[in-house]
């Protein structure tokens, strides 16, 4: 290569360049446009950074791992501070100190100084990732607990930089808690904690209240409850139905199945090998440790001779499709039984699940209807006023001429004997109002389906209930519901008319 000055003079004295449109009409002062590299201004390199860089060229560094070099350089610079900001964006995968140039290194240490003071200035993504590596390796940390708090604040402050910051950061923070044996209560809002706590609530359904069960289902269901038209307009009824159906199905599985309902929905816990701090630059100072860490009752870690294992519910730890199909079935049945909003198909659930859900929802609707009945209350304090007003009215109606009498002809009551209603007062029906209306519709050829719906009940449930209550009297089934519609047994039709009279319970309400 020739002399740098000769090359510069050749370029600057080129005739075509000097006469080009770029330079035409321009006035330049007497200063060099091009300079040799030896004359270019270079930023100063602090002695501490120079010494840190030299660690990469020691004999020991040639045969040690890159993770060891990172930990060694990091501990050397643990307390270093700087005041030279770096505001340019750049990309660096798996960043380390030796990958940064001097300006970037000084910018990183300047940003780290401010973050340690409690501030959160803007930073390129590689700065945030590099600092995560420092926290993982306990560089510049007074205690693991303090490091966990800094880690969490780092994620809260810089999650806007991208999903990879959130995804890797949350996993590394979880591993940090496990590796250093810190209480998971320090990260109550971590995805693992939120998921596990919701699942534990459903596994312990018999110890959880209705609201906790509903919140857990809301968190885990793949079916968007908040978008349901029924939930938007009647959230309390929808929530009660979902919780009660889940509890009823859990009882059914507990009594009649080998596995629980939650086993069917979420599967069972499995222990598999686990790579702690996966994809991070981490130098393990205790590679052959033996330990165990219980994250919660369904999630634990163990390390045996340096190999890590994780026991938990693996697979999808987000929204659950099977649970979502169950919630969709409840939504569908609510719309069908109440006749409200447009109908939707039931979820991908078994026929036995649909039948159990139907029965539980019908019971809930019947209970709700009983609560909505108007209660007649008599205000005893107002009786004196009523008596006084009645006495005054009577005085105005008295006729002075006592001899004149009013002949009152008592009307003869016409008998309107409705079919199947001519019964004696001593014969009281064991059926409730919904069952009587349903039976009356069958006897008189009326709308039996409408009669059931008016009481928010399913025809099949009413038929079963009537058969059960009248079995002692007839010794047989009086309504056959083996087909698509209920059919009265003809031999008992005449006798069934006496059972549609009001019961004592109804007359007293």
User: What is the DSSP secondary-structure string of 27-58?
Assistant: ---SS-SS--GGGS------HHHHHHHHGGGS
Q: What confidence score (pLDDT) does residue 21 get?
A: 65
Domain annotation for the chain: domains and CATH numbers: 4-39 (no CATH), 47-186 (no CATH), 191-266+318-367 (no CATH), 433-507 (1.10.10)
Residues 6+ apart with CB under 8 A from 302: 291, 292, 293, 308, 309, 311
Mean of pLDDT over the chain: 83
What's the per-residue H, E or C state across 365-422? HHHHHHHHCCCCCCCHHHHHHHHHHHHHHHHHHCCCCCCCCCCCCCCCCCCCCCCCCC
CB 365 within 8 A of CB 462: no
Dump pLDDT digits (tens) for 320-335: 999 999 999 999 999 9
Q: What confidence score (pLDDT) does residue 424 get?
A: 36
Closest of 311, 214, 313 to residue 263, by C-alpha: 313
Residues 6+ apart with CB under 8 A from 21: none
Q: What confidence score (pLDDT) does residue 233 get?
A: 93
Q: Is residue 246 predicted with pLDDT exceeding 50?
A: yes
Q: What confidence score (pLDDT) does residue 450 get?
A: 86
| Percent of all residues in the chain with a pLDDT value above 70, rounded to a whole number | 81
Task: Give the mean model confidence (pLDDT) for residues 89-107.
Answer: 93
Closest of 136, 168, 170, 140 to residue 152, by C-alpha: 170
Total count of residues recorded for the chain: 509
What are the structure tokens assigned to 274, written together?
Answer: 């686990």
Greatest Cα pair distance, the chain, in angstroms, is 151
Task: Residue 73: count other Cβ atoms within 10 Å of its Cβ.
Answer: 21
From CA 502, how far away is CA 427, in angstroms rounded?
A: 10
Task: Give the mean model confidence (pLDDT) for residues 301-307.
Answer: 94
Q: Is residue 476 predicted with pLDDT exceeding 70?
A: yes
Task: Give the mean model confidence (pLDDT) for residues 496-501.
Answer: 78
Confidence band for 461, pLDDT divided at 50, 70 and 90: confident
Dump pLDDT digits (tens) for 367-404: 888 877 655 455 556 556 656 665 665 555 454 444 44
> 146 versus 381: which is more confidently predicted?
146
> 86 versus 32: which is more confidently predicted?
86
Dump pLDDT digits (tens) for 247-263: 999 999 999 888 999 99
Q: Is residue 28 predicted with pLDDT exceeding 70?
A: no
From CA 398, how far away is CA 400, in angstroms rounded?
A: 6
Q: Is residue 270 predicted with pLDDT exceeding 90?
A: yes
Lowest mean pLDDT among 14-23, 117-126, 154-163, 193-202: 14-23
CB 96 within 8 A of CB 88: no
From CA 423, how far away is CA 420, in angstroms rounded?
A: 8
Q: What confidence score (pLDDT) does residue 383 get?
A: 55
Task: Give the mean model confidence (pLDDT) for residues 496-505.
Answer: 66
Task: Give the mean model confidence (pLDDT) for residues 346-360.
Answer: 91
CA angle in degrees (0–180, nearest 5) for 359-361-362: 65
The residue written with tokens 């909505």 in the block is 372
Task: Give the mean model confidence (pLDDT) for residues 53-57.
Answer: 94
> 509 versus 138: which is more confidently predicted?
138
What long-range pairs does 176-182 form, CB within 8 A, spacing at least 24? 176/135, 176/136, 176/144, 176/147, 176/148, 176/151, 177/148, 178/276, 178/293, 178/295, 178/301, 179/276, 179/277, 180/144, 180/147, 180/148, 181/144, 181/291, 181/293, 182/144, 182/145, 182/148
β 479-480/487-488 pair status? antiparallel
């Amino acid at each position: 290569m020739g002399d740098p000055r000769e090359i510069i003079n050749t370029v600057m004295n080129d005739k075509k360049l000097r006469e080009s449109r770029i330079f035409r009409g321009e006035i330049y002062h007497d200063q060099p446009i091009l300079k040799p590299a030896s004359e270019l201004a270079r930023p100063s390199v602090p002695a501490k950074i120079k010494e840190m860089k030299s660690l990469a060229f020691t004999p020991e560094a040639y045969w040690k791992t890159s993770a060891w070099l990172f930990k060694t350089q990091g501990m050397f610079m643990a307390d270093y501070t700087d005041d030279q900001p770096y505001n340019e964006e750049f990309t660096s995968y798996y960043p380390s100190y030796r990958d940064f140039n001097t300006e970037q290194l000084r910018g990183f240490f300047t940003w780290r100084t401010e973050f340690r003071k409690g501030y959160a200035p803007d930073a390129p993504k590689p700065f945030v990732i590099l600092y995560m590596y420092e926290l993982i390796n306990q560089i510049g940390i007074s205690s693991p607990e303090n490091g966990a708090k800094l880690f969490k604040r780092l994620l809260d402050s810089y999650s806007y930089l991208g999903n990879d910051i959130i995804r890797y950061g949350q996993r590394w923070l979880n591993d940090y808690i496990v590796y250093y044996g810190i209480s998971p209560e320090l990260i109550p809002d971590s995805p693992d904690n939120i998921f596990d706590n919701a699942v534990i609530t459903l596994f312990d359904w018999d110890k959880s209240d209705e609201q906790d069960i509903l919140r857990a289902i809301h968190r885990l269901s793949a079916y968007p409850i908040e978008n349901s038209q029924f939930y938007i307009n009647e959230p309390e009824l929808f929530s009660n139905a979902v919780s009660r159906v889940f509890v009823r199905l859990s009882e059914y599985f507990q009594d009649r199945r080998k596995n629980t309902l939650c086993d069917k929905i979420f599967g069972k816990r499995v222990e598999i090998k686990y790579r702690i701090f996966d994809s991070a630059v981490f130098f393990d100072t205790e590679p052959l440790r033996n330990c165990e860490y219980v994250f919660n009752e369904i999630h634990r870690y163990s390390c045996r001779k340096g190999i890590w294992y994780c026991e938990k519910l693996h697979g999808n730890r987000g929204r659950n499709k099977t649970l979502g199909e169950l919630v969709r079935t409840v939504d569908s049945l609510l719309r069908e039984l109440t006749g409200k909003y447009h109908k939707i198909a039931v979820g991908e659930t078994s026929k036995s699940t649909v039948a159990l859900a139907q029965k539980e929802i019908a019971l809930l609707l019947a209970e709700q209807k009983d609560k909505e009945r108007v209660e007649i209350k008599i205000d005893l304090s107002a009786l004196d006023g009523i008596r006084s007003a009645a006495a005054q009215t009577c005085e105005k109606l008295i006729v002075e001429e006592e001899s004149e009498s009013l002949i009152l002809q008592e009307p003869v009551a016409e008998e309107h004997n409705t079919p199947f209603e001519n019964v004696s007062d001593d014969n009281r029906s064991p059926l409730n109002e919904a069952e009587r209306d349903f039976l009356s519709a069958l006897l008189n050829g009326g709308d039996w389906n409408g009669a059931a719906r008016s009481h928010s009940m399913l025809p099949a449930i009413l038929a079963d209930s009537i058969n059960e209550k009248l079995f002692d009297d007839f010794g047989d089934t009086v309504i056959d519901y083996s087909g698509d519609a209920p059919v009265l047994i003809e031999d008992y039709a005449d006798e069934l008319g006496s059972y549609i009279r009001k019961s004592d319970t109804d007359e007293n309400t």
